[in-house]
Structure 1
């Protein structure tokens, strides 16, 4: 029996060739050879994450092995990323998010919002986005959150109103719900540190480069105002520019009520899930008062779920996304950390500082943030983009005199929002676009318009809010 190969050999050759070419280019003046060699392996790893000659975890393992075999770093240094507490926070949050799906609590929350606010199509879109927002603090996989919980409900609702793919009825309701829910997920992912897997990577890079510590509460506080405004505006914009043919949806609350009736009253496991969710939020917001770190809080939540048998160890072992994240995340953090300590990032910062000299930090922040945003057209992954460009852009912005925390957060927020642009640029995008309700042309044109709205809202209104809370 033939098995589909995981290895795409041409892409693998391209990945290795790029790394080798960089390796043998003479080390630039002012830079240590060790830093340049690590940079060449890092670039090859990022290229591998983009063109995918192998799954992400395999690419990361190749990068780690190359670092050690070439004596660029010692094995202890190469494995140092696996003990990073931020990585374990996101890995454990993956396990906890499995509880929302396994217990059915995530679907129950979504159906409850549909029942309460789903009488009109616009209200229906807001109810689905509100469900996403409610779940996002404890579900770091926006793909699992949107694709695993929200998308199946969208499909059911669309088909209930005769909106199907391939028969010319996509615009009845399905296309609008797909596009608005996807765009909502990009915003909710930006609103919490634990709402998207690459957010902690950005926080870790910011800490390595500038020494600032961004807390869960600090991230949430900075994002809450521009985030809520975006969540309100974006569905309205899509409703006006890409309106559904069906404006009233009286069947939706009835359907949701029937689903809730089928689910019955809250089960024991769901009550435990709700309790853990509340405990986590309390500890993430105020745990430092009790000397409880955010990662320790996540461990506490996981232990409770295991002791109450909401999750079994078998569930933990099967959570492939979490273990996959642990591997590639650890390798990328390790490489980025050593690129900074070996002088690569400071060297690049000094080099680029001349290009923006005299602009002032405000213009530098805005210009580079916008460049960072639109460069996402070249990336098929939020994580690959953050890994490749976040540290370099942040170092230049901070070197221009911009407040470090503000700069780190702006790039961190944009590391989610830029997913609005294409049908391949984030984890949930293929799931939503692949449903077939929205054409690529419409996806891109609406995405570009929404990107402009995001930049105006987050840098404009967000900038005023950040001034109020003292970020600049």
Structure 2
């Protein structure tokens, strides 16, 4: 019986470990093959068209996921080389990109927040100080997210790994659970607010979400160099306004039944007592965070780049044993990001070099010809934002559309830096509209506290607010900064 039982379990284990969905893989390959064999349009180099076919197939693969993202990227790089579209050294050139290494190293640094418990401590401190009312409790969670976001490029890890467990715990303590129909007591409000706040903080720093450095890299290929400081300063005012307005909007249109939460502060106090005084490792983490934040802001004045800063921070964490090399090896999200990020950056770069992006820009430029750059940029930005309904990944969306929309807007006369930043910010903000359009969305939505109808309805209302805030308030701020 024991042997038979073992034999019965083996097939299930094989099935569980199987990573390739061959139906999705065939669809992905078919899309690329169709584009490949259609043939290059007049005026476009054949290699550029072939690379475009592989690029589109890669984006489809990232969306329908025939295998993990890293696997899709490896297949794409291999295809680029085997088809003779690019030489091997060109196909691997993405791994030399310093912005890619910035985001990868930032993943490692963010592990320190989780390992030391500092991320949870920060959140509980703010809940303790400002959590006596439900609205104040939501703001405390958003401020926690904001403070962690510059050094945590995985908004899924930040929102789903640190903020969401606290939201879930607080909701259940106040007797709010979707399983017994009490989700509207407080859980629905906190879940929706924490998620939407994560979308805002993701837009505010280049290192707050993985697609942001990708946008900055693509902008650099178009001649628009965005520094970490450029991004943060431009996003500061509209970002803070959004963080103030959005929770209040949700509070009004989707109000919690419990308006007062006097015991939240007590709960946070108990959690902090359980954690004890700040540990040596946490002090080291705080010191490194302040060091890298300072160098990201002022480092360029002393010739220290953002990526060098990240390397300095990681080195200190290793020297102080806050992180071990085993921690680095186990950070799967970072290594996965390195592979797919390198593939996308490589293809985006060579699509520009081979003439695909300039060709498309000239073609699309005709659609907005005769329009002032303000109206052209506005129309293109709206299309860029709401086309996210068709994407299950911010990275896939940015990869597919950012370069083209940037180049067309610039061809219409829009100021390059302004255009690059607006599209960059929208690359995070458009995650607000659906329950599948960003990494943290399935985590928060999967808790069952918010129905799909409410998620989409409130999300659309928030998208309108974001556009108004970032265009009107942001527009005035960017005028003061001299961006237009």
- Does the alignment reach a TM-score above 0.5? yes
Measure, in 2, the Cα distance between the counterparts of 1:90 and 1:244: 37
Specify which of 3, 10, 30 is matched with residue 23 of structure 2: 10
Q: Among residues 269, 273, 281, which one is paired with 2:285 in the alignment?
A: 273
Question: Is structure 2 residue 115 aligned with structure 1 residue 131?
Answer: no
Query: Which residue is equivalent to 1:246?
Result: 258
1:451 paired to 2:451: no
2:271 is aligned with 1:259: yes
1:439 maps onto 2:448 in alignment: no
User: What do the CA deviations read for 1:316-341 (whole angstroms, capped 9, x no partner)?
Assistant: 00000000000000000000000000
Distance 2:280 2:79 in 1: 49
Query: How big is the shift at 1:291?
Result: 1.0
Q: Which residue of 1 aligns with 2:219?
A: 206
Distance 1:147 1:212 in 2: 33
Per-residue deviation, 1:290: 1.3
Deviation larger for 108-117 or 157-166:
157-166
Q: Secondary structure at 1:425's aligned position in 2?
A: coil
Equivalent pairs counted in the alignment come to 471
Task: State the 1:368 CA deviation.
Answer: 0.4
Deviation sequence 1:19-38 (CA, Å, 0-9, x none) = 01111112100100010000
* Among 27, 42, 66, the residue aligned to 1:29: 42
Show the counterpart of 1:157: 170
Q: Paired residue for 1:374?
A: 386
The secondary structure found in structure 2 opposite 1:53 is coil
- Give SS of 2:438's match: coil
Cross-structure match for 1:148 = 161
TM-score normalised to structure 1 length: 0.99
Aligned partner of residue 178 in structure 2, secondary structure: coil
CA distance in structure 2 between the partners assigned to 1:212 and 1:391 by the alignment = 11
Q: In 2, Cα distance between the equivalents of 1:165 and 1:252? A: 20
SS in 1 for 2:176: coil
Aligned equivalents of 2:399, 2:146: Cα separation in 1: 26
How much does 1:96 deviate? 0.2
Matched, 1:73 2:86: yes
Shift of 1:193: 0.5
Instruction: Write the mapping of 1:144-223 to structure 2, written as runs, cut at 5 A.
Output: 144-209=157-222, 211-223=223-235
- Return the alpha-carbon distance in structure 1 between the equivalents of residues 40 and 243 of structure 2: 47
How far does residue 59 in structure 1 lie from its aligned partner after superposition? 0.5
Partner of 2:421, secondary structure, is helix
1:165, distance to aligned residue in structure 2 (A): 1.8
Shift of residue 7, structure 1, vs aligned partner: 1.0
Residue-by-residue CA offset, 1:251-296 (whole Å, 9 max, x unaligned):
1000000000111111000000000000001100000111111100
SS in 1 for 2:79: helix
Counterpart of 2:404 in structure 1 is 392
2:7 — aligned with what?
Answer: none
**Partner Cα separation in structure 2 for residue 8 and residue 453 of structure 1:** 39
Separation of aligned partners in 2, 1:389 and 1:139: 25
Partner Cα distance (1:308, 1:441) in 2: 49
Structure 2, unpaired ranges of 5+: 1-9
- The correspondence for 1:289, drawn from 277, 295, 301, is 301
Structure 1: where are the runs of 5+ without partners?
A: none
Determine helix, strand or coil for the equivalent of 1:171.
Answer: coil
Deviation at 1:442, TM superposition (A): 0.3
SS at match of 1:31: coil
The two structures have a TM-score, normalised by structure 2, of 0.97
Aligned to 1:409: 421
Identify the residue that residue 315 of structure 1 maps to in structure 2.
Answer: 327
Could you list the runs of 4 or more consecutive aligned residues of structure 1 that deviate by over 4 angstroms after TM superposition? none
Q: Secondary structure at the match of 2:450?
A: coil
User: Secondary structure at the residue paired with 1:29?
Assistant: coil
Question: Deviation of residue 360 (structure 1)?
Answer: 1.1
State the alpha-carbon separation in 2 of the partners of residues 231 and 401 from structure 1. 31
CA positional deviation for 1:342: 0.3
Question: How far does residue 244 in structure 1 lie from its aligned partner after superposition?
Answer: 0.3
Asked whether 1:232 is paired with 2:248, we answer no
Give me the whole-angstrom Cα distance separating, in 1, the residues matched to 2:39 and 2:183.
Answer: 56
1:56-95 correspondence runs (5 A): 56-95=69-108
Whether 1:115 aligns to 2:115 is no
Structure 1 residue 133, shift from structure 2 partner:
0.2
CA distance in 2, matches of 1:441, 1:267: 44
> Structure 1: how far apart are the matches of 2:31 and 2:270?
56
CA distance in 2 between counterparts of 1:281 and 1:151 reads: 25
- Which residue of the partner structure matches residue 343 of structure 1? 355
- 1:39-58 equivalences under 5 Å are 39-58=52-71
Q: Out of 289, 299, 303, which is 2:311 matched to?
A: 299
